[in-house]
Amino acid sequence: MKATVISGIVLVFLLLASLNGISFFHDEQHNDVPFTRTLSEDFDPLVDVVVTVEIKEIRSLETRYLGRTLDKIDAFSDPDFYVKVFINGEEFTSPVWKNQKYVYDPDWSA
């Protein structure tokens, strides 16, 4: 009889804890945090939104064991690269980095 009552009380506590009725853990830093907007919400058109695109490096693809490029990007020299970004229908194009297999720190932003 006692075992049934004790197991019933434990079951009620576990049920309430799983429904957030009783919390065994209290985290004070998250009590007053407002809900943030989801990514699917649209921005207010009267608010200026800043979008930054940062390219860290650009490189040509090579096979691991041969050290050659996968496809002929430029048949007579090293490949040429440029970046084209579309933000809100507006096109931003970087300068062309010519004859380089790797471009480190391209120093360009849109």
Give pLDDT tens digits along the chain (110 positions). 777 767 777 666 666 555 555 455 555 554 554 545 555 666 677 777 777 878 888 887 766 666 665 556 666 778 888 888 888 788 989 899 888 888 888 888 77
pLDDT for res 9 = 77
Write down the pTM of the prediction.
0.45
- Domain limits for position 55: 48-109
Q: How many domains does the chain divide into?
A: 1
Question: Does residue 16 lie in a domain region?
Answer: no
Question: Does residue 90 lie in a domain region?
Answer: yes
pLDDT for res 108 = 83
Q: Report long-range pairs for 14-21 (Cβ below 8 Å, ≥24 apart).
A: none
Question: Does residue 38 lie in a domain region?
Answer: no
pLDDT for res 70 = 57
Q: How far apart are CA 11 and CA 26, in angstroms?
A: 21
Question: Does residue 65 lie in a domain region?
Answer: yes
Question: Does residue 42 lie in a domain region?
Answer: no
List phi, psi (to 5°) of 103. Answer: -125, 110
pLDDT for res 17 = 57
Beta-carbon contacts of 24 under 8 Å, excluding residues fewer than 6 positions away, are 17
pLDDT tens for 1-25 read 777 767 777 666 666 555 555 455 5
Question: Does residue 2 lie in a domain region?
Answer: no
pLDDT for res 104 = 87
Question: Does residue 66 lie in a domain region?
Answer: yes
Question: Does residue 9 lie in a domain region?
Answer: no
